[in-house]
Homo-oligomer: A and B are copies of this chain.
Amino acid sequence: MFVKLGCMRKSADEAQQTRERIVAAGVMQSSVEGLFGLTLGPLAESLGMSKAGVVGPFGNREGLQLEVVRQAADMFTAAVIEPSATTADGLPRLRALIDAWCEYLEASPFPNGCFVTAASCELDGRPGPLRDAMHDVVSRWRGFLREHITIAQAAGDLRGDPDDLVSILNGAAMSANQEIQLLGDHAAAKHARRIMHACIAQLQP
């Protein structure tokens, strides 16, 4: 029984590791080819697996795509939000978020820049679970930004309309992502960082 339990646990761990390997490779492929360019054949080949082995743990392709979106959102959180976890809420945290955000735009954990921006554009006109998932990811990130803006305002550290600042900061990041990925502007991340901090500075009392 001990042996059997050990074996089962080991199998479950291995199965979980396999799932993670598949999702990780799926994130990489989706970053370049899009979520609808995530095809099972090439994904299986890149992993040295069969198509059935790749799609099995997720039921079908859409199940895998959903896990890819979730994993990409986790990677965004790890890169942009977590580094400032111990920074004081409000304006200090906002400044730390800007720095991590622009660092993320420049040295992206994805091969093709901001996965969230790319998936937002790809999915915004295609109703379904994938679009719903991206809607959640984007609106939670914007809500998180807005929360720290309002905290900064309550502390008397910031003026202006919170939604304006959310749109400006978010827009600066999207524009920088275009400058880096499409236009090949290597200075764009630092440029965006300077712009974002200037917007904040301008709104201080």
Contacts and interface: CB of A to CB of B under 8 A. Distances in A.
Looking at chain A's contact residues, is the secondary structure mostly helix, strand, loop, or mixed? helix
Number of this chain's copies in the complex:
2
Given A168-B171, A168-B172, A174-B175, A182 B124 contact: yes
Nearest to A116: B178
A152 to B, nearest CB: 19
Interface residue tally on A, bucketed by range: 35 or more
A134 B167 contact: no
Contact of A167 (B34, B122, B131, B176): B176
B163 A170 contact: no
Interface string A170-201: 11111110110111000010011011001000
Contacts of A150: none
